[in-house]
Amino acid sequence: MMKSLILHTATRLMIGVLVLFSLFLFFRGHDEPGGGFIGGLVGAGAFTLYAIAFGTEATRKVLRIHPITLISVGLLSLVVSGLIPMFVAEPFLTGKWLFIEWGAIDTKLSTPLLFDIGVYLCVVGFIVTVIFSLEEEG
């Protein structure tokens, strides 16, 4: 934890921007370069910056979910995205899409999106776990 007024102020301003940017990269990357991995890296970077500025205990309060839980939910999402096609006699990890029309809103849900969500959660959970471990040892 660093006691710098500039770092504390900048971190409070930047964490929201970094999390929103990570979500932008996640959703943009679903159909173009980017996706779960790079979005997860930027999201983990936001919480890493917060941990450097305010310490791991404050970051745990902001995160609200234990990083191991993020990894577990991410792995569950990865496995489920692979198993869904098997229920319709297709190979593991075959992409399946579901198109939903709600009036003027068209929604496209897919197993690749579920897979990307799993990657995002695993990356954020793993990096935050490593950062917490390193900071608590020091």
Q: Where are the alpha helices (DSSP H) in the chain?
A: 5-29, 36-54, 56-63, 67-83, 111-137
pLDDT at 1 over 80: no
Q: Could you write out the DSSP letters of every residue in 99-118?
A: EEEETTEEEEEEHHHHHHHH
pLDDT tens digits, 2-60? 788 999 999 999 999 999 999 999 988 866 667 899 999 999 999 999 999 999 999 99
pTM, two decimals, is 0.89
Asked if 71 and 122 count as a contact pair (C-beta separation under 8 A), the reply is yes
Q: How far apart are CA 33 and CA 12, in angstroms?
A: 29
107 pLDDT band (50/70/90 cuts)? Answer: confident
109 pLDDT band (50/70/90 cuts)? Answer: confident
Q: How far apart are CA 89 and CA 16, in angstroms?
A: 43
